[in-house]
Amino acid sequence: MSDRMGPAHVFVVDDDTSSRELLTRILSGEGHRVTALADGHEALARLGADGPPDLVVSDIRMGEVDGLQLTDALRERAPDTPVLLVTAFGNIDGAVEAIRRGAFDYISKPYDVDGIKVVVARALEQRRLALENRALRRDLRDKYRLENVVGRSEAMLQVYKTAARVAATDATVLIQGESGTGKELVARAIHAASPRAQRPFVAVDCGAIAEGVLESELFGHARGAFTGAQAMRRGLFEEANQGTLFLDEIGDVGQNLQARLLRALQEGTIRRVGTNETLAVDVRVVAASNRDLEQAVKEGRFREDLFYRLNVVTIRIPPLRDRREDIPLLAEHFAAKHGRSEGAAISPAARDLLVAYDWPGNVRELENVIARALALNPSGVVTPEDLAEHVRGARPAAASLAVVAGAAQERPTLAELERRYAAQVLQETGGNKTRAAEVLGIDRKTLYRLLGDEKE
């Protein structure tokens, strides 16, 4: 697929001829190229011959290879191809199982034509984003060595895009995000992609060093500048000359040191502590903070002029709880990293708990949990029992279902589905409630209840 919502190649798999032809007409009418197939065997054979399509729409109940088995095979052989499974009205258990097995969404019979178009467009858009994300990550990994930044969510896609675009410039970058989200990884990727890549990358945690010591660390000091300064020392600005200086937790820097930082950024010069000698430095600064610096400016705790000097380009890294779809990928990444064997993996039940947990420590906490679990479990497969107690206490059902479905969307309740279906049948019978009740196989009183109308 070349453009955002352009034509796609779609497999329609259904052993019911009329249903298959109807879906084919609907999707062909949208400009898509449709391959109609009578069962799962045909779909798998065609997959082997022609390669994966952009989308598969398949009935759940078919012959030897049903829709769930086809979904399993596609997840193995064509993981980037979203699957929409068609289920009979009211078969909620089948729909939920389909999503748990990796289907993107489900479509209920009888078909809502507009609804089919919407869900197909959403599935194709997710595929486009996934492929674009993969291409960007490959580009960043190959060129910028960003192999430890993992994620396929749209929010992380924006992080990758901004990092790639700003890397070639000398612009000052401010990376914002909670602790543990991977701010330094992004800073290192920007440096590695820049023309300064062969020069030093120097990182300092401003929140971990007392202000008086931090001033000397950054700017250096002359011999005798203070008690214990027995020799001249170069500062980190000088160490990072022609390279990149990463100022982590910049929001913790005090007002006096903020003024010196502003002068260094504006003038490109520094003075060692205890001397008036000015030294020119050529340093690209990337700063990071887990604090709201704009609020700190309003409260007078952070200099406004320094904020705007740092905030030339902003990259916001979302917390893990806001990109839960990345959790399974990250968990598998850390399992491969910390596992004692190549078979290290996460069980489905453990994955659901990981997805449901809110991760206040973000990616760093997730890595620690996986490393601990694998250290305690020699089998290499993480189960719920291997997880820390506070993670096991998470409630997995709703959160993990939405993540596996690939979209943060609200699903209708069974009662709402019944109401919609009853209203559709009533419309098809021209408003004849007696006839609608006969078609539905219920009495008029039940029909009134489904429609929310207790009057006969």
In Å, how far are 73, 124, 270 from 78, measured between CA atoms? 8, 14, 56
Average pLDDT on 207-222 reads 88
Kindly list the structural domains of the chain, giving each domain's residue range(s) and its CATH number in brackets, ordered by start: 9-130 (3.40.50.2300), 150-316 (3.40.50.300), 321-405 (1.10.8.60), 414-451 (1.10.10)
Say what the pLDDT of residue 341 is. Answer: 64
Average pLDDT on 216-245 reads 85
Say what the pLDDT of residue 136 is. Answer: 60
Give the model's confidence band at 398: pLDDT under 50 very low, under 70 low, under 90 confident, else very high. Answer: very low
- Of the chain, the end-to-end C-alpha distance in Å amounts to 53
Give the model's confidence band at 7: pLDDT under 50 very low, under 70 low, under 90 confident, else very high. Answer: confident
Say what the pLDDT of residue 401 is. Answer: 46
Which strands, in side-by-side order, build the sheet including 33-37?
A: 33-37, 9-13, 55-59, 83-88, 105-109
The 10s digit of each residue's pLDDT in 61-105 is: 887 788 888 888 888 888 888 999 888 755 666 667 778 788 888
Residue 315 has a CB neighbour count (10 Å cut-off) of: 22
Structure tokens at 395: 């409630």
Say what the pLDDT of residue 15 is. Answer: 85
d(CA 63, CA 454): 42
Residue 443, pLDDT > 50, answer yes
Residue 442, pLDDT > 90, answer no
Say what the pLDDT of residue 416 is. Answer: 64
Q: Tell me the one-letter amino acid at 305.
A: D
Lowest mean pLDDT among 150-154, 192-196, 319-323, 432-436: 150-154
Give the model's confidence band at 268: pLDDT under 50 very low, under 70 low, under 90 confident, else very high. Answer: very high
Residue 279, pLDDT > 70, answer yes
Residue 319, pLDDT > 70, answer yes
**Of 67 and 284, more confident:** 284
d(CA 120, CA 223): 70
- Contact call for residues 419 and 452 (beta carbons, < 8 A): yes
d(CA 388, CA 382): 11
Task: Report the largest interatomic distance among the alpha carbons of the chain, rounded to a whole angstrom.
Answer: 99
The 10s digit of each residue's pLDDT in 140-199 is: 545 444 444 567 778 888 888 888 889 989 999 999 999 999 899 899 989 988 999 889
**Of 16 and 226, more confident:** 16
- Contact call for residues 84 and 123 (beta carbons, < 8 A): yes
On average, the pLDDT of the chain sits at 82
pTM over 0.85: no
Percent of the chain's residues with pLDDT above 90: 33
Say what the pLDDT of residue 412 is. Answer: 53
Lowest mean pLDDT among 112-121, 248-257, 432-441: 432-441
Residue 218, pLDDT > 90, answer yes
Average pLDDT on 12-29 reads 90
Give the model's confidence band at 139: pLDDT under 50 very low, under 70 low, under 90 confident, else very high. Answer: low
Say what the pLDDT of residue 46 is. Answer: 87
